[in-house]
A and B are shown apart, each in its own frame.
Chain A
Amino acid sequence: MTTYDVAVVGGGIVGCAVARELSGRTLDGRRLDVALIEARGDIGDVTSKATTAILHTGFDATPGTLESRLVRRGYELLSAYAVVAGIPVERTGAVLVAWTDEELATLPKLASKAVSNGYDEGLLIDADEVYRRVPALGPGAVGGLVIPDESIVCSWTSALAFATEAVHRGTTLLLSRRVTGVDVGEVATILHTDADDITARWVVNAAGLGGDVVDRAFGHDRFTVVPRRGELLVFDKLARPLVDHIVLPVPSPRGKGVLVSPTIYGNVMLGPTSENIEDRSATGTTEAGADFLLGKGRALMPALLEEEVTATYAGLRAATEHDDYVIDVDAQQRYLVLGGIRSTGLTASMALAEHVVELLADQGMATVERDDLPSVPRMPNIGEAFLRPYADGALIASDPDYGRVVCFCERVTRGELRDAFASTIPPSDVDGLRRRTRALMGRCQGFYCGAEVTRLLEESLASRGEGGGAT
């Protein structure tokens, strides 16, 4: 049986970034052998798929925290990587809107907090300027703070790019394996999963919502994940002209509040709610959540509510009782935990991976970057602001399948579906196909193309010998 150098538990955005980083390094001249273990049938299928997908400058982090530092660094790393890997990013900027005098008084403090976090581009604006930037904003705004570098990013492509590159670099991707127990030995640890046992010298816990469970399996009692459910409404693409910036409320002790933002796919998002819950799999939406968001939306941007809702979803943030990330190394157990990585995890992901390398070096596992790295994979573009196959005349001329639109609302072509099925990490269900291509995520939600897309997916699954069950 293979003994991996490192087993990364958790194929979310953070685990994928860590696996990518580690498999790109050598220890004593030998390539690190990395396993990426995921409980679900696909990577990025839990928390990472249901974020607000904002690339944060970290302007509002708590200065001095690890989170503040890693978000700041992660912003730079992911921004640069996105260009190479073809991950769609739009630098829309954010406008924090003050609605009361109390909030207005908070804005300068936020601007100086941003400076403490290493961000000094914040710009205080008056109410007129707020409405000039966001004409559809509801009445009553009294001022604002502009953060020009807040951006929107495709979180799905990010996770997929990391995982794809990790596999290209030699990572063994082990899906559908939930870790059920741990045996720490003298030189290696056995991870028992519901499928098989995996042996590795080092274990990195990036298990997100299940991070505390894995941590306890190693005998620790450092944190408890209290899932914080965030529900979101996604409005029709016809609403997109209403808002060109991320519109944020002034954060309060009760949380970051409800935002309105363009999405990277050309829609408009309203949310999230914030609700601590017990059930770690409760990603259902609620009547109360929708009512709350519609109430907020009515005040924030009345015209938005005239538009159709295309999708609703809920994500669970892996919040803990701690204010900062919980990152720790146990040298004896050759075990490293990345806990409490909440909504900032997408932005911080690559910095977290870099941090893992530093922490391992501190434990005598000094690695160096490989000199034989494969080239960075170029991901298919699913961002609305960039050229997509249906609009690419040259591409269609080279292969007519890119001119065959299958999903009409999102304009996903047969060529893109085929590419997804043939990719390094192909989709295992409709949801995975949606995250790779945008198929079925549009306004009709399958009225026109649902049956055809499902058929193509099942054909692909059958040819890969994975059976059906994708209806």
Chain B
Amino acid sequence: MTEQQQRDASAEVAADVRADVVIVGGGPAGLTAARQLARDLHVVVLDRETEAGGIPRHSDHLGYGVRDLRRVTSGPAYARRLVASAREAGAEIRTEATVTGWAGDRTFAVTSPQGRLLVRGDALVIATGARERPRSARLVAGDRPPGVLTTGQLQSLVHLQDRSPGTRAVVVGAEMVSWSAVLTLREAGCATVLMTTEYDRGESYAAWRGPARVALRVEVATRTRVTRVIGRDRVEAVEVLDTLTGQRRTVECDVVVFTADWIPDHELVRLAGADLDPATLGPRVDCALRTSLDGVFAAGNVVHPVDTADICALDGRHVAHSVRQWLRAPSPPPAGARILCDAPFRWVAPSLLAPGAGAPSRRRLLLWADDHRTTPRLVARQSGRVVGRRTVPWPVAPGRVFRAPWSLLDEADPADGDITIGLL
């Protein structure tokens, strides 16, 4: 513990907030959980931004709310709706409230304009989401001029502040979020001159990729990597490596957007010493979204980096049920069999099969893949034997979550050791 953290832990209390449930993060997962719980419980949502709503707040395009609200709406409208319904249900949403650390059991140290607060909940929900790895974390060499962005930064620049990022962009990544960056750039008058992906084809939905590629006229360079940023005072170009041939070329641009490559905002769970899933780097949770800490739950993209906003919202609904159950009858943190995965899968969530946890949200296991399979034949193994097989008619593809039926693990036993999910 650093001195700062110790001070956090013994910070002067300007006011005390107590609630039945404290939710950190006012995005789709946190706000939906708040709405479900606030009808009869005292729920406090802590959000560090000046307005709650999370990432959809600055994703000004359609496609939000499909699975949770059964309607198609824009990101900002969706965010406003989530905030309004949580408020109507009675949730107390505190904005400009930054959780800076733990101040004891189920108690957060919070900085807000109202002062340093200690906020305690009988149950806690961590819904802090995920962020894109910036250029530095990807160790991309070269100069460090302004104009190197992530999608998050680009969107707040364009949608919240109405500013132009530049005129010629290279977008690193070719996933759904990358195309969303392309749209945002176009709206701001900036052309995307190249998208790069390390995969052997663009990762987004095939049905959408073709027309989008034509409509937006963007070249997608597969099996390539941006290796260097060039330009002292302003981005002038990037160097692109063809990973197949080893050849490098220089692409002129004045903006580089690093998209995708998600990492959960897991600081709070790590500081508390919760078990982490080494594959997602988020907290390891069971199907009830319980972490290894007593009374601490997690939901949304901090658990599965990243799925769509509506899936996060449905996580919020799911976790609300678990929280309610736990408040009625507290139980010790879950123990059981770890759920692991083999290539081409990178991670699976939830990743703990615990007794009494029931099925996961939407009866789906979420997996992230690094390769394509058109008709995946799933297999689950435990202690050297096959415990489940399923063939599904939807493809496995990099850059988006693959959803496996929960029935794959019907025969798995929480007491029988690690379970591994792979493809035949």
Q: Give chain A's interface residues, CB within 8 Å of chain B.
A: 233, 238, 240-241, 266, 281, 283-287, 289-290, 308-313, 384-388, 390-394, 396-397, 400-401, 403-405, 408, 411, 413, 429-430, 443-448, 450-452, 454-455, 470-471
Which one of A391, A401, A454 contacts B100 once the chains associate, using CB atoms below 8 Å? Answer: A391
From 220 to 254 in chain B, residues with beta carbon under 8 angstroms from any chain A beta carbon are: 227-229, 232
CB-defined contacts of B61 to chain A, threshold 8 Å: none
Q: Give chain B's interface residues, CB within 8 Å of chain A.
A: 1-4, 7-8, 11-14, 48-49, 96, 98, 100, 109, 111-116, 131-137, 139, 141-144, 146-147, 149-150, 152-153, 156-157, 160-161, 163, 165, 227-229, 232, 263, 267, 270-271
Q: How far is the CB of B278 from chain A (nearest CB, A)?
A: 9
Asked if B4 and A447 make an inter-chain contact with CB atoms under 8 angstroms apart, the answer reads no
Which one of A238, A311, A448 contacts B267 once the chains associate, using CB atoms below 8 Å? Answer: A238
Which one of A233, A286, A391 contacts B7 once the chains associate, using CB atoms below 8 Å? Answer: A391
Output the residue of A285, A387, A392 with the most chain B CB within 10 A: A285
Q: How far is the CA of A373 from the CA of B267 in the complex (A)?
A: 46
Asked if A470 and B4 make an inter-chain contact with CB atoms under 8 angstroms apart, the answer reads no
CB-defined contacts of B115 to chain A, threshold 8 Å: 393, 396-397, 403
Asked if B163 and A471 make an inter-chain contact with CB atoms under 8 angstroms apart, the answer reads yes
Q: How far is the CB of A264 from chain B (nearest CB, A)?
A: 11
Q: A450 — nearest CB in chain B belongs to which residue? A: B153
Asked if A405 and B98 make an inter-chain contact with CB atoms under 8 angstroms apart, the answer reads yes
Which one of B48, B113, B150, B263 contacts A446 once the chains associate, using CB atoms below 8 Å? Answer: B150
Q: Tell me whether chain A's interface is mostly helix, strand or loop, or mixed.
A: mixed
Q: How far is the CA of A238 from the CA of B266 in the complex (A)?
A: 10
Asked if A385 and B2 make an inter-chain contact with CB atoms under 8 angstroms apart, the answer reads yes
Which one of B4, B13, B149 contacts A450 once the chains associate, using CB atoms below 8 Å? Answer: B149
Q: B48 — nearest CB in chain A belongs to which residue? A: A408
CB-defined contacts of B100 to chain A, threshold 8 Å: 390-391, 411
Q: How far is the CA of A178 from the CA of B11 in the complex (A)?
A: 48
CB-defined contacts of B49 to chain A, threshold 8 Å: 448
CB-defined contacts of B134 to chain A, threshold 8 Å: 444-447
Q: How far is the CA of A311 from the CA of B135 in the complex (A)?
A: 9
Asked if A385 and B98 make an inter-chain contact with CB atoms under 8 angstroms apart, the answer reads no
Q: How far is the CA of A443 from the CA of B157 in the complex (A)?
A: 19
Given contacts A447-B131, A447-B134, whether A471 and B141 have CB atoms under 8 Å apart is no
Asked if B156 and A450 make an inter-chain contact with CB atoms under 8 angstroms apart, the answer reads yes
Give 9 closest A-B pairs by Cβ, nearest first: A445-B134, A400-B113, A447-B152, A393-B116, A451-B156, A393-B12, A450-B153, A405-B98, A451-B157
Q: A408 — nearest CB in chain B belongs to which residue? A: B48
Output the residue of A287, A392, A430 with the most chain B CB within 10 A: A287
Given contacts A283-B143, A446-B149, whether A238 and B270 have CB atoms under 8 Å apart is yes
Asked if A471 and B146 make an inter-chain contact with CB atoms under 8 angstroms apart, the answer reads yes
Asked if B141 and A284 make an inter-chain contact with CB atoms under 8 angstroms apart, the answer reads yes
Q: How far is the CB of B22 from chain A (nearest CB, A)?
A: 18
Asked if B111 and A396 make an inter-chain contact with CB atoms under 8 angstroms apart, the answer reads yes
CB-defined contacts of B2 to chain A, threshold 8 Å: 240, 266, 384-385
Asked if B146 and A470 make an inter-chain contact with CB atoms under 8 angstroms apart, the answer reads yes
Asked if A444 and B48 make an inter-chain contact with CB atoms under 8 angstroms apart, the answer reads no
Q: B116 — nearest CB in chain A belongs to which residue? A: A393
Q: B241 — nearest CB in chain A belongs to which residue? A: A287
Q: How far is the CA of A310 from the CA of B232 in the complex (A)?
A: 20
Q: How far is the CA of A281 from the CA of B12 in the complex (A)?
A: 47
CB-defined contacts of A401 to chain B, threshold 8 Å: 113
Extra A-B contacts (20), CB below 8 Å, given A284-B144, A310-B136, A447-B131: A240-B2, A287-B139, A308-B133, A309-B136, A384-B2, A388-B4, A391-B7, A396-B111, A396-B115, A397-B14, A400-B114, A404-B96, A404-B113, A408-B98, A411-B98, A411-B100, A445-B135, A450-B157, A451-B157, A471-B163
